[in-house]
Amino acid sequence: MVTLASIEPLLPESNRDLEDLAIELTSAANRFAARLHPIMRASVGDLVRSMNCYYSNLIEGHNTLPIDIDRAMAGEYAGEPEKRNLQLEARAHIEVQQLIDRSEMPFSVLSLEGICWMHGEFCRRLPDELLIVRNPDTGEEIKMVPGQLRTGHVKVGDHIAPEPEMIEPLIARFVEAYSFKMLSKLQKIIGVGASHHRLAWIHPFFDGNGRVSRLFSHALLRELEIGSELWSVSRGLARNVADYKRLLAQADQPRRGDLDGRGNLTQAGLTEFTVFFLSCCLDQVTFMEELLKPEELLNRVEVWCNEEVQMQRLPRGSWPLLREAILAGEFARSQVQALTGYQERQGRTVLSSLLDCGVLTSPSPKGKVRLGFPIDIIERWLPRLYPAVR
């Protein structure tokens, strides 16, 4: 029988290496966020949400191609039911993360209501077929209710999740531990890694727990002013998915002896998972910071643009507009003549070509213009964002 003590410990023991890792992550995230123009951040954020969804899907064994995610966001769905359902799943994930990134989540991240809200918002956007959960042992089918805690017993691998009646008390203890006012900022950052495992261990819903845990961690990192729309821990977890799943399972194990903390679960296993999780965070911040260094991004886009002009797929005068979007974040349409050196009509033609192919975007026919990231140029502008073969 699971008790409140069964989830202990909730935090790793004080550890200099973990604290140094949390300090390095804080420094890197703050430095990266300060370097990008706010408008450029918004453009990158749209791209990263799609990337986050792609990698989160991949962890679940759903290989939804980036181009299919892009089409889903444009409302273009496949005729094949299974592929269409995966597109709808991808769109649901992105829309929930948009709400989080825009601070439109109506509850605290660290609350039962917040956790149920994330699950509910995601699941109510899914087709009915994806809300059916099948018991692999009995074949029983259960219709999952979005945002509703599970009412039955489940087993995930070797882990037998807590009884349904213990979910609310365990989440109350979970919330209390990770939002404790006496925790330092560093302890709270370390707690993000630990809480990612412990939420998965509680397994509050019949399905969708992995995805909710990753959305939860994203939201909690944002609340702690470490996370942002500029990077995604899911990419790091997916690129190391075997270690991710192995260390999650390892942290499920009982205490290994007198030298393994004082709780019911292994302290060493929790510490190892937390180090792994925060290391993935740091790796992804560093990766995106390198990828978006203005001078290097400018060089990659200029090389691409020159090739497109040479192949007559873009008009001459395109590069000055792309450069301005990268350096200034956005520009008014009235600046096109000055930037290109062309007469008004010719300048409009250049701008229209760039808008038509999606490398520049605008919220309205007369609105300001900013950089866009259409999926077909991503590998040239931002190499290694997605796997080479997709």
Q: Which residues are known to be catalytic? A: 203
Is residue 20 a known part of a binding site?
Answer: no
Phi, psi of 369 (to 5 degrees): -115, 140
Q: Per this entry, what is the length of the chain?
A: 390
Q: What are phi and psi of 241, to 5 degrees?
A: -65, -35
Q: Is 212 annotated as a binding residue?
A: yes
Measured CA to CA, the distance from residue 246 to residue 268 in angstroms comes to 14
User: Would the annotation count 158 as a binding residue?
Assistant: yes
How far apart CA 385 and CA 25 sit, in angstroms, is 20
User: What is each CA distance from 48 to 5, 29, 54, 66, 325, in whole angstroms?
Assistant: 38, 15, 10, 11, 18
The CA distance from 286 to 78, in Å, is 36
Confirm or deny that 207 is annotated as ligand binding: yes
119 is known to lie in a ligand binding site: no
Q: Is 376 annotated as a binding residue?
A: no
Q: Annotation-wise, does 196 bind a ligand?
A: no
Is 156 annotated as contributing to ligand binding?
yes
Is 213 annotated for ligand binding? yes
> Which residues are 371's β-sheet partners?
360
As given in the structure block, the two tokens for residue 349 are 């033609």
Contact 329, 40 (CB under 8 A): yes
Asked whether residue 222 is marked as a ligand-binding residue, the answer is no
210 is in an annotated binding site: yes
Q: Coil, strand, or helix at residue 248?
A: helix
If 0-12 CB within 10 Å is exposed, 13-18 middle and 19+ buried, where does residue 115 land? buried
Is the CB of residue 179 less than 8 Å from the CB of residue 233?
Answer: no
* 30 is annotated as contributing to ligand binding: no
Residue 172: CB partners within 8 Å, gap ≥ 6?
A: 112
d(CA 198, CA 170) in angstroms, rounded, equals: 10
Residue numbers in the known binding site for ATP are 156-159, 207-214
User: Residues comprising the binding site?
Assistant: 156-159, 207-214
